[in-house]
Structure 1
């Protein structure tokens, strides 16, 4: 007995926790590797060609400019690799385009045993189409809300009742203006996610005065949008809602539907700004994994930068615009928008990462 007490005393002097033998941790648990620390996860959706050294997609600027010097395998994702900065503790992924790729990549990342992401911030930074009634190409838009533009009932346009504005109705309803409005979350799916307003406004306030580059090509493109005053202004940092769906729609009538759809699902509080594919899946993955305590969706930000308008200018048909975009003639702001996503997004990412003592346990909020 005396020998046992002496042994325990020696352990205590060495600073080792005293654990009764019956409750000691298994050897495997004791030797499990330490988690890779992650302060911020940068989420992009695609890359063109190589990850470095050629024409950049959404991912390349982060790798080269932040920079992200370490390459890590990314099992369960379309891109298969992710990149990491050990000094800033910033991790970046390219999910792959479309909501399915985004949902798979986010779930794989969050379940990856190498990381503990419970206090990590998530910044989705990608390009988008922009409503010329809201803004112009080259702009950067922080989204306070994501509206699901892919989940709906749809009547063929040739069979739409004459008193309907379009053929879209809620899955839980039979009219475009179904009243009362169905719930935002149902067995059919999720229609709206509201990101943390304080954090979104904080990010917007941190970046709103940053000047974004302009070009002759962008000036020529926006000059064609006669009668759309917001479209003819130079690019700027803005705040507005994004509509998310897998179908790559174009045209004035579809834009009118998207504006209505945003107003309908936000009880006239939302303003349709940008259109993209992956955002609803990004929010859904975070929300579901939050139920298991693996992430905090209040630490998510969504930044979309405008590479193109979502409808043609006066004098051009939707089919002509689609042809231009299919042949990459309609993306006069592609490179500026890719650059803007990094230029604006990196300000927020660096602020969070370099002042981790301030933001690890306290989420920043506008006015605080």
Structure 2
């Protein structure tokens, strides 16, 4: 009897733990995370920002509160989850980290698609064009003096961190300045979408005639080029040259600047650390930026005059660039979902070892 009583006592003590474990909900498996950076108003039904086409087109109707992030997460029944990070690297990093550590979601097999707008180098592309990037380069972490106080032989007052002169060699690797995406996966995404037809308008056609160069005058197209991420919205021909030089320097000559944004190194920093924590696979990240504006003034305007007319929702290709981001990005999302039985465990375009591969120069059809 004493042994039986002890067994009953042990069972009674264990039962709360068994019950608690049984009641712990299973994590929600996520196949694709779509990352937008801003929304103009509501998530649906009004003038769109970067998120609205995804909410409506992917039927993201399930809302999950994310109080530690900029915006709630929205999800559909197919495993696609969407977030809005807020503008700037700090908000992007915080929002992605909040999602990545949320215990409700299983993100270990998820692909991440950052889809937003940016300013394009007219030497590389045109308004409304879509850019897949291999290299994401930070444009904020540096030393700086006013160029009016810089030595006359300096091209810029911007100096790499822990260096004394612009573009000083040897370059020092600094955590969070350069991120190299999985080239095999970028190859796959570009190959899948390179012939997607992008929207063109009379306004875009007229504006691109104000810029010199073959690529600046082309109808919108999908291309391959690299991304400068900086919290400052910079503008003008002289800063465009700085962007070209900065990306070239920070990638040891492997990258070529094509388009700028304001959040992507923040997103990549969080994803890098989340991978270290075993929460995500940072080799499953794609970054797509579409050209809402040129990153410099057109002929006949000063940089200041051009900046004054460059306002959000007033960009020359604001609405078409949002459309382009969804059109191109959705092709990738549809393919991943359709082939999930294979893509869950082996990335499309990857080698058997899933290695990132080598850097590539900008690619244009």
TM-score of the pair, normalised by structure 2: 0.90
Matching residue within 73, 84, 103 for 1:82: 73
Equivalent runs, 1:166-205 vs 2, <5 Å: 166-185=156-175, 190-205=176-191
Q: Is residue 2:313 matched to residue 1:337? A: no
Secondary structure of 1:346's aligned partner: helix
Q: Is the counterpart of residue 34 in structure 1 residue 26 in structure 2?
A: yes
| Superposed CA offset, 1:134-160 (max 9, x none) | 111100101111001011111111111
Q: How far apart, in 1, do the equivalents of 2:214 and 2:165 lie?
A: 32
What pairs with 1:245-324 in structure 2 (closer than 5 Å)? 245-324=230-309
Question: 2:202 is matched with which residue?
Answer: 216
SS of equivalent residue, structure 2 residue 125: coil
Task: Map Cα deviations across residues 242-275 of structure 1 (whole Å, 9 max, x no partner).
Answer: 0001000001111000000000011111110100
Output the CA distance in 1 between the equivalents of 2:284 and 2:321: 24
Whether the 8 Å contact between 1:130 and 1:309 is mirrored in structure 2 is yes
Find the aligned partners of 1:121 and 1:236 in 2 and give their Cα distance: 24
Tell me the residue number matched to 1:357: 341
Deviation beyond 6 Å, 4+ runs, structure 1: none
SS in 1 for 2:291: strand
Which residue of structure 1 aligns with residue 154 of structure 2? 164
Task: Establish whether residue 104 from structure 1 lines up as the match of residue 94 from structure 2.
Answer: yes
Corresponding residue number in structure 2 for 1:16: none
The one-character-per-residue Cα deviations of 1:287-334 (angstroms, maximum 9, x if unpaired) are 0111111111001110000000010012211100111013854x1100
Instruction: Output the CA distance in 1 between the equivalents of 2:160 and 2:22.
Output: 52
1:347 shift after superposition? 0.6
1:158-188 deviation per Cα after TM superposition (whole angstroms, max 9, x unaligned): 1111111111111121111211111243xxx
Q: How many Å separate the matches in 2 of 1:333 and 1:327? A: 10
Tell whether the 8 Å contact from 1:123 to 1:301 is kept in structure 2 after alignment.
yes
Q: Which residue of 1 aligns with 2:10?
A: none
State the SS of the aligned residue for 1:101.
Answer: helix
Residues 136 and 234 in structure 1, CA contact (< 8 A), matched pair in contact too: yes
What is the distance in 1 between the residues matched to 2:170 and 2:276? Answer: 29
SS of the aligned residue for 1:232 comes to coil
Shift of 1:27: 3.0
8 Å contact 2:199–2:323 — kept in the other structure?
A: no
- CA RMSD of superposed structures (Å): 1.9
**Aligned pair count?**
341
Question: Partners of 2:306 and 2:265 in 1: how far apart?
Answer: 26
In the TM superposition, 1:20-59 aligns within 5 A as 26-59=18-51
Q: 1:294 to 1:57 in 2, by over 3 A?
A: same
Indicate if the aligned counterparts of 2:119 and 2:259 stay in contact, CA closer than 8 A: yes
Q: Secondary structure at the match of 1:106?
A: helix
Q: 1:236 aligns with which of 221, 226, 229?
A: 221
Q: Residue 325 of structure 1: SS of its match in structure 2?
A: coil
Contact 1:139 1:306 in 2 (8 A): yes
